[in-house]
Amino acid sequence: MSAYRLHCVGESGNAYKVALMLEFCEYEWEPVFVDFFGGETRSAAYRSEINPFGEVPVLEIEGERIAQSGAILTHLAERSGKFGGQDEKQRLAILGWLLFDNHKFTSYYATLRWMVGLMKTGDPAVIDFLTKRALSAFSIVDKHLANRSFLVGDELTIADLSLVGYQYYEEDTGIDHSAFPNIQAWKRRIASLPRWKHPYDLMPRGFKGG
C-alpha cells in the first residue's frame, strides 16, 4: 500500500489539484476511486468513515485523513518543503489566492462545468449568472498573469496548482478560453513541467453520461 492514498474521481478538478501536487512532489501514491456520480459521497458510510463534508478529495497519510484541497495542498507544501512560497509574504499571497480560488475562480466555473458541460441542463438564468461570475474571475487572473509566469513569485506554487485544477478539462461550458491568452500560456507552462499529467491519466473516471 502506498504511503499516500487519494480518494478521488477523475472528473474532479479539486482532486486533480492534489494528484498533481503529489506527482510534482514525486511521492508514491495511489488513487482510491470514489463513485461520486453513483452517490457514494452522499452515503452515510462515506460521511461517517471517509469525509463528513461528503466530498472529494480526501488524502490518507499514514492512516490519517485530510479533506479539502486547499488544506491538503498546504499540508503537502509544509511536509515536502516545496511549492509553499519562499517567505512569509509569499505564503500570505498564496493563501489569498487559495481563498480567491475557493470563493470565485473554481467555485463558479466548476459549477458551470457541472451543469453545462456534464449534466447539460440548468436554469438559463442560473447559467447566465455563473458564466458572468466565471468570466469576471478569469479576467482577474488573466490580468495578473500578463507579466509573470506564475501567480506568486517566479516559481510554481500551490496557488497555481489550486487555480489550474479545472483548466485542463475539455467539456464545452460556453466560455471562450481563447479570450484569456495569459491563462492559456500559464496552463501550457505548467503542462510543460516534468511529471505533469492530464487528470484522466492520474485518476479513474466515473461519469457515464452523454
pLDDT digits (tens, 9 = 90+) for 71-107: 999 999 999 999 999 999 999 999 999 999 999 999 9
Average pLDDT over residues 17-46: 97
Distance CA(5)–CA(209), nearest Å, equals: 27
pLDDT at 2 over 90: no
- For the stretch 175-197, pLDDT in tens is 999 999 999 999 999 999 999 99
pLDDT of residue 154: 96
Query: How many C-beta neighbours within 10 Å does residue 60 have?
Result: 19
pLDDT at 48 over 90: yes
Q: Which amino acid is at 141?
A: V
pLDDT of residue 1: 65
What one-character-per-residue DSSP string does the chain give? Answer: --SEEEEE-TT-HHHHHHHHHHHHTT--EEEEE--GGGTGGGSHHHHHHT-TT--S-EEEETTEEEESHHHHHHHHHHHHT-SS-SSHHHHHHHHHHHHHIIIIIHHHHHHHIIIIIII----HHHHHHHHHHHHHHHHHHHHHGGG-SSSSTTS--HHHHHHGGGTT-----S--GGG-HHHHHHHHHHHTSTT---HHHHS-------
Please identify which residue in the block is written with the cell numbers 513541467: 193
Domain ranges (residues) in the chain:
4-82+196-202, 88-191
- pTM of the complete model: 0.96
- For the stretch 103-133, pLDDT in tens is 999 999 999 999 999 999 999 999 999 999 9
pLDDT of residue 118: 95
Distance CA(98)–CA(71), nearest Å, equals: 9
Please identify which residue in the block is written with the cell numbers 479533506: 67
pLDDT of residue 85: 98
Task: Kindly indicate the confidence band of residue 208, based on its pLDDT and cuts at 50, 70 and 90.
Answer: confident
pLDDT of residue 209: 67
Distance CA(28)–CA(67), nearest Å, equals: 19
pLDDT at 63 over 90: no
Average pLDDT over residues 2-30: 97
Percent of the chain with pLDDT over 70: 99
Distance CA(42)–CA(21), nearest Å, equals: 26
Looking at the domain that runs over 88-191, which CATH code has it been given? 1.20.1050.10
Of the candidate CATH numbers 1.20.1730.10, 3.20.20.70, 3.40.30.10, 3.30.70.60, the domain formed by 4-82+196-202 belongs to 3.40.30.10
C-alpha cell belonging to residue 183? 491563462
pLDDT of residue 122: 92
